[in-house]
Amino acid sequence: MPGFELFGSLEQKETNKVLETGVLMRYGFDGPRKGQWKAKEMEEALAKRMEVKYAQLLSSGTAALTVALASTEIGLGDEVIVPSFTFVASFEAILSVGAIPVLVDIDDTLTLDPKAVAKAIGPKTKAIMPVHMCGSMANLRALANLCREHNLLLIEDACQAIGGTYEGKPLGSYGDIGCFSFDYVKTITCGEGGALITNNAKYYKHADHYSDHGHDHIGNDRGKEGHPFLGYNFRISELNAAVGVAQLKRLDDFIAIQEKNYSIIRKELEVFPEIKFRTVPEGGVENYSFLSFFLPTQEMAKKVQIALSKAGVDGCFYWYDNNWHYYKKWDHLLDLKSLGKLPMEVQEGVKNQKNNDFAASDNWMGRNLSFLIKLSWKEVEVMERAKKIVQILAQHL
């Protein structure tokens, strides 16, 4: 990743088809568009690739999460369980529908710890939202069992993990709804974009309407369409969708490249017994967009990250100190720094979590390093990179 590294003639061809019509909006203008419906085309291809009945293309991964929550009728005062390690979009989407994000510890999968989730379930809990961070997944079987036991929804945030699988099912298709991001730094990109997938006809219908101001999309006259319920604008443009149409055709090739580069580096690092690689749940296959492992101590992980940076090894992430992906820097959430007044239910729900103990998460995140796996590397570049990492690790282990 990211997919833009390999932009080429296919992306140009698909976007030119849209530019030649001059119709950049995904709805309406049936005549001038000359049969070009790129958002619909990508939705059909995505549903087929992800082995589900329905796909709804949206303006971003954040939009996908927001629409997924709204489509399942999660709203004011409802609680949604999310991991302490995720991108801020996860809790932003929850807040946007008036619900309460409940932060829960991660384990050595770098995703939700099912035991911690079980303890966090309460009378207001409506959904569990595992976030498949850095290309790999949570223990979805354990989380699905909890959902069945407590009558909860399982909403997969697979924004960083497209192309991975669990028990033979594409990530995103295991739960009630799955969400993807196609922003500029994802394995496949639309520039800006996202999607949700589901096998539930009701949720899909809600998503279709809600993401387009409530339009019911019945008939051929957009101005006469009904609005059965309130909606908002989370539409993607045809130009962004056209890029996605091309990129989705290349997904399997991209995953194969990532796996090759990932495997070369991992093989070199396996000489160090002190390293513990991130756990991939049994039955899971990651999408190889990141290589993540744990060092013996937090101090050592930080020193190694600094040394790697000085040696010119880019793309090495120490998430423990990251502003956007780990709870320690989310003061704007925990202190409720909002431009508008938040509902009292949300204020109370978040306030109650401010002093939560995430020592278990700190144990894993403090010792973790994650290496971005690029698509554009030549094999010689991958080997040189692996050797640099080995040299620096040898100095610290």
| Residue 14, both tokens | 């698909």
CATH number of 3-250: 3.40.640.10
What CA–CA distance (Å, rounded) separates 91 from 337? 14
What ranges in 270-358 are assigned the alpha helix state H?
298-310, 331-334, 344-351
Tally: H helices and E strands in the chain: 14, 14
* Residues annotated as catalytic (active site), given as ranges: 186
pLDDT (tens digit, 9 = 90+) per residue, 331-367? 999 999 999 999 999 999 999 999 999 999 999 999 9
What CA–CA distance (Å, rounded) separates 4 from 8? 9
pLDDT (tens digit, 9 = 90+) per residue, 98-107? 999 999 999 9
What CA–CA distance (Å, rounded) separates 386 from 267? 9
Question: What per-residue confidence (pLDDT) applies to 81?
Answer: 98
What CA–CA distance (Å, rounded) separates 179 from 154? 11
Mean pLDDT of 262-288: 98
Beta bridge partners of 198: 54, 177
The model's pTM: 0.97
Query: Where does the chain hold its CATH 3.90.1150.10 domain(s)?
Result: 253-396
What ranges in the chain are assigned the alpha helix state H?
9-21, 38-49, 61-71, 89-96, 114-120, 140-150, 201-210, 238-249, 251-269, 298-310, 331-334, 344-351, 359-366, 379-396
Strands 100-104 and 79-83: parallel
Q: What is the dihedral of CA 143, 149, 152, 153, to 10 degrees?
A: 50
Question: What per-residue confidence (pLDDT) applies to 1?
Answer: 85
Strands 79-83 and 54-58: unpaired
What CA–CA distance (Å, rounded) separates 151 from 72? 13
Q: Predicted confidence band at 59 (pLDDT cuts at 50, 70, 90)?
A: very high
Query: Where does the chain hold its CATH 3.40.640.10 domain(s)?
Result: 3-250
Model confidence at 300: pLDDT above 90? yes
Please check whether residue 365 is in contact with residue 106, taking contact to mean a CB–CB distance below 8 angstroms.
Answer: yes
Biggest CA–CA distance in the chain, Å, is 70
Question: What per-residue confidence (pLDDT) applies to 379?
Answer: 95
- Residue 255 has φ and ψ, to the nearest 5°, of -60, -40
Please check whether residue 213 is in contact with residue 232, taking contact to mean a CB–CB distance below 8 angstroms.
Answer: yes
- The CATH topology of domain 253-396 is Aspartate Aminotransferase, domain 1 (3.90.1150)
Model confidence at 131: pLDDT above 90? yes
Cis peptide before 2 (omega within 30 of 0): yes
pLDDT (tens digit, 9 = 90+) per residue, 222-261? 999 999 999 999 999 999 999 999 999 999 999 999 999 9
Exposure letters 72-110 (e unless 16+ CB within 10 A, then b) = bebeebbbbbbbbbbbebbbebbbbbbbbbbbbbbbbbb
What's the gap between Cα 319 and its chain centre?
A: 16
Neighbours of 251 (CB within 10 A): 18
Mean pLDDT of 173-197: 98
